[in-house]
A and B are shown apart, each in its own frame.
Chain A
Amino acid sequence: MKKFIHDFEVTRNIHITDDYFALNLKCPVSLPDMLPGQFAEVLVGNSATTYLRRPISIYDTNYDTNELSLLIKKVGDGTIALSKLKEGDILNLVYPLGNTFSMPQGENALLICGGVGIAPMLLLAKLLHSKGYNPDILIGGRTSADIIEPGKYEPYGEVFITTDDGSAGEKGMVTQHSLFTEKIKSYSIIYACGPDPMMKAVARVAASHQIPCEISLENTMACGIGACLCCVVETIDGNKTTCVDGPVFDTRTLKL
């Protein structure tokens, strides 16, 4: 897929919670096609401590208005600077980067999202829905404050929630959710994005039931286009870049 570099205009900065916000960005030309799982390298600029771009998942797209949105968690200087952007500000993006998820080989699909890991799952849920699937979408977090915009997913599948403290949905980790005891064998594929321990736990359960599992990694990156080889992950075929060979990997190919 052809990659682009464009100056986007901020059309909205949506405060979701104290930790999460979404940026709606208008493309100066027709918005190029983007696939679920792909990301943009966002130029933060104007700070010595944010020299490099920030890789951020494409959260949503609107081809009628030529807008895309990014869901961002404030974790450091770069994302905090982005949280202060206002309508009309300009943001430079290198995009769309990375690969995408594969489609299910059977009927049922399970999407598992943890924290900001829900970002790449919205486009995936939409795509699955448009192809006639009705995926189960399991959103996990430490507390209810980590469950971001679950309503956005409801048109595209059935949404389930877990929190470590039980403040929303079932109490416990995602792999302890009743879906895992009651329905796990019905899924032809599991997709996951979230903290590493969560994805590893999901991958283990998937492997034990011989269910294909694809995870989207969030390794730190410099270039985002396969030039620097900083973001590698260990696979059975040696080190692969998260930015070009990923961010989506079949867990059977990873040395987890």
Chain B
Amino acid sequence: MLDLSVNVHKLLLKNPVMSASGTFGYGPEFDDFMDVNRLGGILTKACTSKNRDGNRYPRMAETPSGMLNSVGLQNKGVDYFIDVIYPKISHYNTHIIVNVSDSTVEGYMEVAEKLNPLEKITGIELNISCPNVKEGGMAFGTSCPMAGAVTKAVRGVYNKTMIVKLSPNVTNIAEIAKAVEDEGADSVSVINTLLGMAIDAEKRRPVLSTITGGLSGPAIKPVALRMVWQVSKAVKIPVIGLGGISNATDAIEFLLAGATAIQVGTANFVDPQVCIKILDGIEEYCSRHGITDIKELIGALES
């Protein structure tokens, strides 16, 4: 009997496959295509203290083996999430983890504090790595003191599992990971999107309204894999790996690099059933390799 369960701090995931924030809506968007309950967890679209309209269209540019986005945290705010969205997703029999972002430390605290009592929200993912907002977002995730400060502040008001999602747009991601671990992070998600840019040569204009945006998809997988490997060696808390995962083999690679669980992001846009295919593929890999406990694979890279 194969044991696929993994522990991310206090969260016992039935398997290591989760959906990445911003690529899966809140879950119901995928109900027609899969049994969402089969996932190890859902990371919701980012939630901020107040309503945000996000950036102007165009917010997306397709790139070789990936895409750039500059959505800019569009959401209706934490109160709307609690009143309207939460009742529609609280029936899911999986971990629902809300991605939390804002422009100020106080904003992050407000969202976390309001989410803390919600029974079915078993954790939050602090988004200190969104490259698409003018204030806050990635600014918190690119310096150790800032990353530590926001982590510490939210830790003070949130007592369930707190994951911090790290930015790859830094010189030394392991240092940032250690800084948030020191301030009470229970886990880190590695990585958010890479800052990129697309130009329309015919029009001599940037494609995105914001000029720059976050690169995701298979194009970033090698970078993500390297960073997961670096971070997992630097911290004791569990690492959640993401960045371009499109199939079970990719997912296994992240586990071998040191990830305890993985998130599937942009691939959901190409195949709305990909999360389930990855889960089935992981089972197939384990049976082919005679693995009875998925945890055997975590950090099991041989050299």
Q: Which residues of A contact B (CB under 8 A)?
A: 2-5, 43, 48-53, 94, 219-234, 238-239
B269 near A52 with CB under 8 A, answer yes
Which of A5, A94, A219 contacts B57 (CB under 8 A)? A219
**B281 at interface, CB cutoff 8 A:** no
| A224 / chain B contacts, CB cutoff of 8 Å | 269
Q: Are B272 and A225 in contact (CB under 8 A)?
A: yes
Interface status of B30 (Cβ within 8 A of chain A): yes
Q: Is B242 an interface residue (CB 8 A)?
A: no
Task: Encode contact with A along B250-283: 1 for CB under 8 Å, 0 otherwise.
Answer: 0000000000000000101111110000000000
- Verify B71–A230 contact, CB threshold 8 A: yes
Interface centre among A3, A222, A226 (most CB of B within 10 A): A222
Cα–Cα, bound, A228→B54 (Å)? 12
4 further A-B contacts with Cβ under 8 Å, apart from A4-B32, A222-B266, A239-B53, are A3-B33, A49-B62, A53-B269, A220-B60
Considering the chains assembled together, what is the distance between the CA atoms of A49 and B273 in angstroms?
22
Closest B residue, CB atoms, query A92:
B271
Q: Tell me the smallest distance from the CB of B269 to a CB of chain A, in Å.
A: 4
**Inter-subunit contact B57/A222 (CB<8 Å):** no
Does the CB pair B32–A227 fall under 8 Å? no
Contact between A227 and B54, CB atoms less than 8 A apart: no
CA distance A164 to B64 in the complex (A): 36
Residues in B with CB closer than 8 Å to A220 are 58, 60, 62
A40 CB to closest chain B CB (Å) equals: 13
Residues of A within 8 A of B273 (CB): 5
B184 interface residue, CB < 8 Å from A? Answer: no
Asked if B107 CB lies within 8 Å of chain A CBs, one says: no
Complex: A197 Cα to B22 Cα, angstroms: 32
A53 to B56 CA separation, bound complex (whole angstroms): 22
Among residues of B, the one whose C-beta sits closest to the C-beta of A2 is B32
B24 at the interface (CB under 8 A from A): yes
Q: Does B69 contact A (CB under 8 A)?
A: yes
Q: Indicate whether A227 sits within 8 Å of B71 (C-beta atoms), given known contacts A51-B65, A52-B269, A219-B57.
A: no
Bound together, the chains give a CA A226 to CA B29 distance in angstroms of 7
* B75 smallest CB distance to A (angstroms): 9
Contact B69 A222 (CB under 8 A): yes
Q: How far is the CA of A4 from the CA of B30 in the complex (A)?
A: 11
Q: Given A5-B33, A234-B57, answer yes or no on A229-B269 (Cβ-Cβ < 8 Å).
A: no
Contact partner, B268, options A5, A50, A227, A233, Cβ 8 Å: A227
Contact of B60 among A4, A222, A239 (CB under 8 A): A222
B59 touches A230 (CB 8 A): yes
B59 touches A225 (CB 8 A): no
Residues in A whose Cβ lies below 8 Å from that of B69: 222, 228, 230
Annotate B18-40 by CB proximity to A: 1 below 8 A, 0 otherwise.
Answer: 00001111000110110000000
> Does chain A have a CB within 8 A of B247?
no
B16 close to chain A: CB less than 8 A: no
**Which of chain B's residues has its CB closest to A54's CB?**
B62
Determine if A51 and B64 form an interchain contact, defined as CB atoms under 8 angstroms apart: yes
Given the known A-B contacts A53-B269, A223-B268, A225-B272, are A48 and B65 also in contact in the complex, defined by CB atoms under 8 Å? Answer: yes
A247 to B45, CA, bound (A): 22
A53 cross-chain contacts in B, Cβ below 8 A: 269-270
Bound Cα distance from A191 to B71, whole angstroms: 29
